[in-house]
Chain A
Amino acid sequence: MVPDRPPILQVRGLHKSFGHTEVLRGIDLVVAPQELVFIIGPSGSGKSTLLRCCNRLEEPTAGVITLDGVDLMARSTDINAMRRKIGMVFQSFNLYPHMTALGNVTLALRKVVGRSRTDAERLGMEALERVGLSAKARSYPSELSGGQQQRVAIARALALEPSVMLFDEPTSALDPELVGSVLAVMRELKRAGMTMLVVSHEMRFARDAADRVIFMDHGLIVEEGPPAQMFGAPKGERAKAFIAELTR
């Protein structure tokens, strides 16, 4: 386990409703620096919504979220500035199709952070290097495989030097043979000390990279623990049934 340190991300009493449907019904979650929290649960359990509330892509209905001690829900908080510290990787990559890989990675550096083109391109190349794609800097997304696109998307988030990274089913849209390259990049990030929240079904990755596994159901965290315990001997019936199904 990661040694005790002041938490980097704190979620307290998080609720989210879409109309009359309550998707999150009171989530409490504390994430330590450098921790990798792996979130599992049946579809519709609120995993993605929880992740999307953490950078307010989804506006929480109620609750408190703090990052590095800054209250993300406060009116006085500049949410755009805070989002730079929260890297997000999407299931469908969402690369900008009209820009090269390097263009994708450097756009926010140039237009949000205000770096010069030379500076941004140097940092962008470093980020592409980390995901093993510096050779593809001038390629457009449509010229890249799904796995490469997702790694560019990871580099786009990395380039802003986030304190936390959110992965929303990063490998679910990939052909099986391309999953490995993305997971390898995520393992490398974990080794380098990145704090990560991962929603995924890649159990093998969870077993050897996660510090903690969280099982969600019907908008609540039902059970949590280290991967060995969660996959070896889950306590609750629903967690048991779900994990049995996944590891079948």
Chain B
Amino acid sequence: MQPAELTAIDIVTAVRQGDLTAVQCTQAFLQRIEAHNGSINAFLNVDTAGALATAERIDKRRSQGLPIGPLAGLPVAVKDAICTADQPTTCASKMLAHFRPPYDAEVVARLRAADAVIVGKTNMDEFAMGGSNENSAFGPVRNPWDVTRAPGGSSGGSAACVAADMAPVAIGSDTGGSIRQPAGLCGITGLKPTYGRVSRRGLVAFASSLDQIGPMARSAADCALIMETIAGHDPGDATSLTGGVPRYSTQLDQPLAGVRIGRVPEHFAAGLDPEVARGVEEAFAVFKAAGATVHDIQLPHAKYGVPTYYLIAPCEASSNLARYDGAHYGHRATRRDEEGHRTPRRDEAAHGTTPHTEGAFESPLVEMYCRSRAEGFGPEVKRRIMLGTYALSAGYYDAYYAKALRVRRLIRQDYLDAFEQVDLIGGPVSATAAFKLGEKTNDPLAMYLVDLYTVTANLAGVGGISFPCGFTKSGLPIGFQLQAPALGEGLLLRATDRFQHLTAWHQRRPKSIPSATPAVR
């Protein structure tokens, strides 16, 4: 078997036993990237030299009989929202096109300490805002199952590179579904841990009360392996949870007898594609065969999830993204900004025929801020900053932001009530399989609704996992989502692993990936 087809567990076992060197393994994946990234556009940066140098160091240490880490020789792709001191970190934005972080994110530091090999940085929706990867300033990612379709987002590059065997494992981040939805549309396994389980230090902030980093791989067993390295308390993240991290890998092999899985009838209402519905129902049958029981439950406020999310996330984003001021790091407009031109004051501008922001700057500094941000951010990021700024502004705060926070409590209470009756909640990840590139780009609201089944877990802070549970007639993956109470990662991984022992959907691979870049639209 080619190294690029091995699972993460196979790779670390083979490297430890000396059946495969870290260099051989790294080279195999770099060759896959070389062959296929042109058509998929999953990577924004590939660190060939750095990855090979790391792999050589690991092989040398092993040959000298020195200890090697638990992930020794394992190639890992990292979403470009996560800081790497030795590679650019662009967040797929022109704003950060030339940014070089002064430090590694905590997850990257942990991966390196475990002797993983960071092969590159993956494409994404700009600042993780989007559900299709079409908001990247550096071109969309294409779905390896059909390159005319979107891979989902925002961690689309991380999902696509694993689906196309360009990396055995990728790290993503999930603010409203950004790990689970692309994992579902690309036919891989993606875990969004409980809020706070994995340190966010060094993750470029989007919505700080919702953001969470997690693993994306071909199986739950591989995700479990990665979680053992990246999860756990970090004093550098004040929201990081302090509890110990279970040995997830050793707890997978337990039967599901007695595990109660909730099914939400409203998930199957109009809007859910019939093929997806069938795949999801068949997955419930597999879980029953594995000894679990399935119970219909209610999440009464689920329909308010998307509107609640699209207030809270943009509000937090408008605050977080205020840091991009053209002064400290990131893009700075060069026009007129330091030539000493006098610009009109706000009160003067207000007397013009049309009050608008062009030319209405209070000072050269404010003009530099406004122009730098206008040039650096793409349309969706601007839209969310504007929406958040509006919802937080005087006169609207109570009607929008504070209202959304109250509904957020109701949504969390729904989960607490449901988890009194069941151990897990199952259902679809997305209403449809992968959609066509360009299909939703002119309709922001239609794009927001792709998060329908995923945003509530972030609002409640609970964990979720998605994995393939079938394929459509046209050969596109269908995703299944499980959600668990806080700190239920062990059960999410175990239930998915049991499912993957009874099914082979997660082992399917895209048949052929074109090597040239296809025309889109």
Are chains A and B native binding partners rather than an unrelated pairing? Answer: no
